[in-house]
Amino acid sequence: MKIALVCPYAWDRFGGVQSHVRALASALRQRDHQVEVFAPRSKSAPEMSPEPGVTFTGRSVAVPANGSVAPLAFGPMAAVSLRRALKEFDPDVLHLHEPLIPSLSLLALWNSDVPAVGTFHASAEASFGYQAGKPALIKSMKKLAVRTTVSDAARGLIGRYFPGDYEMTPNGVDVPRFRDAQPVDLDGSNIVLFLSRIEPRKGLDVLIEALARVDRDDVTLVAAGTGPEERRCRALAKRLGVEAVWLGRVSEADLPRVFKAASIYCAPGLGGESFGIVLIEAMAARVPVICSDLPGFRAVASDAALVVPPGDPDALAGAIASVFDEPGRAGAMSLASENVATRYDWAALVEHVESLYVRAVGSPPAG
């Protein structure tokens, strides 16, 4: 089958949706499908050739969304580029990620009659965009032959504005890629890893305050990512005496190796998390996980992770100390992490996604 995966966010930026699309494309290719990813690249990125199997269509601009900044491409130039690229590829099915936000996914829905599957990732208490755009988006929603969400939290958001049937297609990872990676050489011991965009809702400042409360002098924070809060967090770590290594943006190739070097992966998010794909990546690398008690994280963490109240540095410090101080705890968490991760291996999930494509091709929606 010829499958077009449309990613709304800049391909050269780190994000859960990009990770989902990248891993899904790989899993589908391993099953002999012809897959092409269509995505924008960020406006600030240098001219570069896309990797094999990826077509750049448009340059993204930063759009504030859900307490973050979304790198989206939209408008007539992006539409023309995408329409031309899709016509040349001539897919049997479109798989559109976040199909109702102003992005390449919505442009693909408007500019193609190919049967479409739409996957919704976002989670929030409410969406002004969905509320304001609902009258115009209802027709677009009807063009989707199959609708899916990555989590109950995501289903709760989209279903509030567009009730209906939604399949569940959770985020997956290539478990062997993370499990078998060789650790990157990092300075420091007892490494607590933070890997995310550095912005307020991700809670890096809370983690730094927590580490300052851990009564050990052999713990190192390794922060991987960039963002508007980086300067403030660097200053906070220095002021509180927290030993920190700042990696900047980590390449997709190095991601598993960075996880494997960690003693603990910490996700101290404050909200807006639909599904903890980064938790699954850490678990696939057999790293003990500590995360905030958020619906999107809780559904993934199961009993394998330590869950703490968001925004509580004292509770977070206690959880970190327990992993380092209690004999056998880290080993038990590593084993539990691996057991959870196997449930999200794309090798096990991809057959369900294929069945959705078959359904979409056989039952085109009313336009």
Give 216-267 pLDDT, tens digit per residue: 999 999 999 999 999 999 999 999 999 999 999 998 889 999 999 999 999 9
pLDDT of residue 361: 95
Residues 209, 261, single domain; the answer is yes
Segment 78-118, tens digit of pLDDT:
999 999 999 999 999 999 999 998 899 999 999 999 999 99
Residues 11, 127, single domain; the answer is yes
pLDDT > 70? residue 146: yes
- Decide which of 43 and 91 is more confident: 91
**What residue numbers bound the domain in which 225 lies?**
176-342
Segment 318-353, tens digit of pLDDT:
999 999 999 899 999 999 998 899 989 998 899 999
pLDDT > 90? residue 299: no
Q: What percent of the chain has pLDDT over 70?
A: 95
Residues 259, 271, single domain; the answer is yes
Residues 10, 115, single domain; the answer is yes
The mean pLDDT value for 115-137 works out to 87
Residues 291, 354, single domain; the answer is no
- Model confidence, pTM: 0.79
Residues 334, 357, single domain; the answer is no
Count the domains in the chain.
2
Residues 160, 69, single domain; the answer is yes
pLDDT of residue 300: 82
Residues 87, 114, single domain; the answer is yes
Q: Is 301 exposed, middle or buried (0-12, 13-18, 19+ CB in 10 A)?
A: buried
Residues 111, 156, single domain; the answer is yes
Residues 222, 306, single domain; the answer is yes
* Residue 72 counted as domain residue: yes
* Residue 367 counted as domain residue: no
Sheet of 68-72, strands arranged across: 68-72, 54-65, 34-42, 2-6, 93-97, 116-120, 144-149, 167-168
pLDDT > 80? residue 188: no
Tell me the CATH number at 117: 3.40.50.2000
